[in-house]
Copies of this chain bind each other. A is one copy, B any other.
């Protein structure tokens, strides 16, 4: 838990050339902490620190660096050093590093791997992007059900060093089909002479390598596991996924959801390290789509141009009225998108949701409508800004608000269902998207209400 605090001290040690103290200090740290410091040094100092790390720590530290720094480091060390790092780093972290690189770069690094690791790397990268397979590590302990607990413990002592986790041990048959998962507590609590079979309940939760990685988050959340086995289509154990990787996935998915909801394509990279042209492109895409959609408001307004010129007072409330529809729509959409993402609400619950939202929308509309009316009444008591027909204007605004808030709430809550039903991502119904939709229809509602209420007076 040091990181940033000790950076000046480390820089001083490097400047003084006091390699002995430096070696002692950094080798006592956790990889995550070394990586935090290394990530903030400039290129030559970075290499100096990495080179005095003990081998295991160096490979682990490398895995914690951000991708740009990783690329830099690999590019500036010798070929054999690069090969050593890549062969030593955990296979799941290696996949995470390789999968985002341009193919020719990624091929170059894969070429440095020794034959076994190369095959591992390729087979992991063969799984689709965002699949469970990409999160997987093949470093786990699998035992046979015929073994005794003593044999298992000996095996763990002999082979445990390479395993990503020793918290769970897997039982497989001769064909490497998964039979059971045993938590280390079950093994430690069993008499050493008993056989694995005796403590197997053949009850386990597993993932398929081809499943979406989002599902891994759900399964981990539901079953509270620290690691889950991953099988292929034939039920053969091909790897494990550990909870710490899933926590990262959960955060990434939340970021994606939030960014989509904010009305832009997910960046998929930290804000600061996304190149500007790429960021502008991802933002411009949605902004232009929304802009083109919003152009319909100009068309709608043009349709009512005659009414506006007759009663300019109507134009004054346009922003207030359409934004209320947009806001209530955004609220409803947020609630439903998140509830769908967490599985609190399912597609077939749409009718229950409509009922709730109808009532919510009605109440919210009544509240805003009343406030809107009061504001116009109050202002008119002290000025003539809303003219002699202010009462009718007030009624128009109040009724429009009721209608538009209700409409916005229903639209906002149903759009995610509709998108999901069509096989699209419900999160696409972002706040700006809902607002745009409701803006256009809101104008039509407003002016229609006005034409009914104000006919014969202002219009």
Binding site for B on A (CB under 8 A): 1, 28-30, 32, 153, 156-157, 160-161, 163, 165-167, 183-185, 188-189, 201, 203, 205, 217, 219-226, 243-244, 246-248, 250-251, 254-255, 257-259, 261-264, 267, 270-272, 276, 279-280, 283-284, 286-288, 290-292, 294-295, 297-298, 301-302, 305, 308-309, 312-313, 315-320, 322-324, 326-328, 330-331, 333-339, 342, 344-345, 349, 352, 356, 359-360, 363-364, 367-368, 371-372, 375, 385, 405, 431-432, 435-436, 439, 443
Copy tally for this chain in the complex stands at 2
Query: Which of chain B's residues have a CB closer than 8 A to the CB of A184?
Result: 166-167, 184, 188
A184 to B216, CA, bound (A): 25
B270 touches A339 (CB 8 A): yes
Query: Which of chain B's residues have a CB closer than 8 A to the CB of A217?
Result: 247
A195 to B189, CA, bound (A): 21
B291 touches A371 (CB 8 A): yes
Query: Which of chain B's residues have a CB closer than 8 A to the CB of A165?
Result: 185, 226
A326 CB to closest chain B CB, in angstroms? 7
Query: Which of chain B's residues have a CB closer than 8 A to the CB of A320?
Result: 291, 294-295, 297-298
Query: Which of chain B's residues have a CB closer than 8 A to the CB of A219?
Result: 1
Q: Which of the residues B201, B279, B309 comes within 8 Å of A309, measured between beta carbons?
A: B309
Query: Which of chain B's residues have a CB closer than 8 A to the CB of A280?
Result: 360, 363-364
A249 CB to closest chain B CB, in angstroms? 10
A435 to B294, CA, bound (A): 15
A229 CB to closest chain B CB, in angstroms? 13
Can you name 19 extra interface pairs (CB under 8 A) apart from A258-B261, A287-B367, A319-B443?
A: A28-B203, A32-B224, A157-B188, A157-B189, A160-B188, A163-B185, A224-B244, A243-B244, A254-B257, A259-B335, A267-B335, A271-B336, A287-B324, A287-B327, A287-B368, A294-B323, A319-B322, A323-B439, A435-B435
Query: Which of chain B's residues have a CB closer than 8 A to the CB of A295?
Result: 320, 375
28 interchain pairs, CB-CB under 8 A: A1-B219, A28-B203, A160-B188, A165-B185, A184-B184, A220-B247, A226-B243, A246-B247, A261-B261, A261-B262, A263-B334, A271-B336, A271-B339, A271-B344, A279-B360, A280-B364, A283-B360, A284-B363, A290-B323, A298-B316, A298-B375, A305-B312, A308-B315, A315-B318, A319-B443, A323-B439, A327-B435, A431-B431
A319 to B296, CA, bound (A): 10
A68 to B362, CA, bound (A): 27
Q: Which of the residues B163, B183, B188, B337 comes within 8 Å of A153, measured between beta carbons?
A: B188
In the complex with contacts A203-B28, A276-B356, A435-B323, A364-B259 CB distance below 8 A: no
A201 CB to closest chain B CB, in angstroms? 8
Closest 6 CB pairs of A and B: A262-B334, A254-B254, A297-B319, A224-B244, A271-B339, A166-B185
A324 CB to closest chain B CB, in angstroms? 6
In the complex with contacts A261-B261, A272-B349, A287-B319 CB distance below 8 A: no
A344 to B255, CA, bound (A): 12
A377 CB to closest chain B CB, in angstroms? 13
A407 CB to closest chain B CB, in angstroms? 14
Which partner residue on chain B sits nearest A153 by CB separation?
B188
Query: Which of chain B's residues have a CB closer than 8 A to the CB of A338?
Result: 255, 258-259, 271
A129 to B247, CA, bound (A): 22
Query: Which of chain B's residues have a CB closer than 8 A to the CB of A323?
Result: 290, 294, 297, 326, 432, 435-436, 439
Query: Which of chain B's residues have a CB closer than 8 A to the CB of A335?
Result: 259, 262, 264, 267, 271
In the complex with contacts A298-B316, A334-B264, A349-B272, A189-B167 CB distance below 8 A: no
B298 touches A364 (CB 8 A): no
In the complex with contacts A188-B156, A220-B247, A315-B315, A254-B262 CB distance below 8 A: no
B264 touches A331 (CB 8 A): yes
Among A223, A262, A264, A279: residue with most chain B CB under 10 A: A262
A109 CB to closest chain B CB, in angstroms? 23
A160 CB to closest chain B CB, in angstroms? 5
Which partner residue on chain B sits nearest A163 by CB separation?
B185
A431 touches B203 (CB 8 A): no
A222 to B61, CA, bound (A): 12
Query: Which of chain B's residues have a CB closer than 8 A to the CB of A330?
Result: 262-263, 431-432
B316 touches A272 (CB 8 A): no
